[in-house]
A = this chain, B = another copy of it.
Amino acid sequence: MKEKQFLMIPGPTNVPLKILHTLGSPAMGHRTPEFARVLKEATEGLQKVYQTKNDLYVLTSSGTGAMEAAVANFVNAGDKVIVMENGNFGERWVKLNTRYGADVEVISGPWGERANPQALRERIAQDVQQEIKAVYVTHNETSTGVVHDVQALREALGDHPAIFIVDAISGMAVSPLPVDEWQLDVVVSGSQKAFMIPPGLSFISVSPKAWAVNEKVTTPSFYFNLQAARKSYEKYNAPYTAATSLVVALCETLKMLEEEGLENIYQRHSYYKKLVRTAVKALGLELLTSEEAGSSAVTAIKKPGNLDVQELTKIMREKHKVIIAGGQGKFKKEIFRIGHLGYVDVNDIIVTIAALERTLKELGWEFQLGQGVAAVQKLLLEGEK
């Protein structure tokens, strides 16, 4: 029974059982009217989740590809850009912009905390020459389990002409991010997160303001060139061969998301956050983040005493068949993380907490067996949402 596993990492997430078979749909010509209909349906479904009328494209890549598109299409070498960095994926915006020769100014904050809108507001106020071309932020910082206050960050930019670019890879369809209402110019996400299908597709929305900036950009890009995407999308074609089978499956999970409704989806994930945080505290473990900063997609837990988190995740996986994540970057050995986004329910969380309890006992952590699961059960019985 080796293959019966619980995947509780912050993506790739579980694929709904009734969707798995659609991945094995018959091969499809990528330049047929049939596929154009599928791509149109997927794109329109994504626009609903994004709550946007902006152009939106499906790229055949993982999320990092869409992040590269969000740099290469909007930044010339030498351009001043601001990156709000509080984690590994904030650092990815820094690395990408640096690679493309941008003049990167990083507003860093402690890992595990939210980015500071006030720091951005002050920096923008100083920019009287309007030299800043773009501001890069992270919606849900997967590496630390923090949901940033994107609305406040966007408000800090005000009516400055810089474009506002959001990595929403693990946060889209988990926590609110109304793209048009909040005036988010470029927003990227990925298939293997709350969209509940395997990795291989990424998504990017582009506002009219971002298109105007794009027109002046000469940075080389080809596969991720968004002008090529725009041109092909006139006929709902992808510029290069799309991962057809993943797009077919995406249409199905988008229907599930629409049926559940965005508000219910946000509430469900927020409830999972509460269950996991409550259980973890009941085991005497320490959360990395405050309640407010804590992500609805993934919960980060500090290393229990002197225990080895890599050993902990290994025991979870090998003995108890529950796959959780260790830390990333400079927090590699400092935290472990439980993902609870996408196709997850309360029973998955009970299994995970129970496996965590047995693992902690094996490692000699002192607590009363059953306290974590009991804390979850108590909340469930209260029926509170």
Measured CB to CB, the residues of A under 8 A from B are: 3, 5, 7, 9, 11-15, 20-32, 60-65, 67-68, 71-72, 95-96, 99-101, 190, 192, 198-200, 219-224, 240-246, 317, 323, 325
Instruction: A242 to B221: give the CA distance in the assembly, Å.
Output: 21
Q: Distance in Å from the Cβ of A220 to the closest Cβ of chain B?
A: 5
Contact B223 A29 (CB under 8 A): no
Which one of B26, B60, B99 lies within 8 Å of A200 (CB-CB)? B60
Which one of B61, B72, B246 lies within 8 Å of A65 (CB-CB)? B61
Which one of B26, B198, B224, B240 lies within 8 Å of A27 (CB-CB)? B198
Which one of B31, B32, B199, B221 lies within 8 Å of A244 (CB-CB)? B199
* Listed residue (A25, A190, A199, A325) with the most chain B CB atoms within 10 angstroms of its CB: A199
Instruction: A325 to B95: give the CA distance in the assembly, Å.
Output: 42
Which one of B26, B65, B72 lies within 8 Å of A3 (CB-CB)? B26
Q: Distance in Å from the Cβ of A65 to the closest Cβ of chain B?
A: 5
Contact A61 B60 (CB under 8 A): yes
Instruction: A99 to B72: give the CA distance in the assembly, Å.
Output: 12
* Listed residue (A30, A63, A67) with the most chain B CB atoms within 10 angstroms of its CB: A30
Instruction: A172 to B232: give the CA distance in the assembly, Å.
Output: 27
Q: Distance in Å from the Cβ of A184 to the closest Cβ of chain B?
A: 22
Instruction: A109 to B193: give the CA distance in the assembly, Å.
Output: 47
Which one of B23, B30, B31 lies within 8 Å of A23 (CB-CB)? B23
Complex interface: chain B residues within 8 A of A65 (CB): 60-61, 65, 223, 240
Copies in the complex: 2
Contact B317 A32 (CB under 8 A): yes
Contact B15 A26 (CB under 8 A): yes
7 closest A-B pairs by beta carbon, nearest first, are A200-B243, A20-B24, A62-B241, A198-B245, A64-B240, A23-B23, A23-B24
Complex interface: chain B residues within 8 A of A95 (CB): 222
Which secondary structure dominates chain A's binding surface?
loop
Contact B198 A244 (CB under 8 A): yes
Instruction: A24 to B21: give the CA distance in the assembly, Å.
Output: 5
Contact B200 A246 (CB under 8 A): yes
Which one of B25, B26, B222 lies within 8 Å of A99 (CB-CB)? B222
Q: List 14 A-B contacts (CB under 8 A).
A: A12-B29, A12-B241, A12-B244, A14-B26, A23-B245, A61-B61, A62-B240, A63-B240, A64-B222, A65-B65, A65-B223, A99-B222, A199-B241, A199-B244
Contact B101 A220 (CB under 8 A): yes
Q: Distance in Å from the Cβ of A292 to the closest Cβ of chain B?
A: 29
Contact A9 B29 (CB under 8 A): yes
What residue in chain B is nearest A324 (Cβ atoms)? B29
Which one of B5, B99, B317 lies within 8 Å of A221 (CB-CB)? B99
Q: Distance in Å from the Cβ of A23 to the closest Cβ of chain B?
A: 4
Complex interface: chain B residues within 8 A of A64 (CB): 222-223, 240-241
Complex interface: chain B residues within 8 A of A246 (CB): 198, 200, 243
What residue in chain B is nearest A239 (Cβ atoms)? B64
Complex interface: chain B residues within 8 A of A22 (CB): 24
Contact A63 B245 (CB under 8 A): no
Q: Distance in Å from the Cβ of A82 to the closest Cβ of chain B?
A: 19
Complex interface: chain B residues within 8 A of A190 (CB): 241
Q: Distance in Å from the Cβ of A366 to the closest Cβ of chain B?
A: 29
Complex interface: chain B residues within 8 A of A323 (CB): 29, 32
Q: Distance in Å from the Cβ of A78 to the closest Cβ of chain B?
A: 13
Contact A5 B30 (CB under 8 A): no
Given contacts A27-B13, A60-B62, A222-B99, contact A243 B240 (CB under 8 A): no
Instruction: A7 to B22: give the CA distance in the assembly, Å.
Output: 18
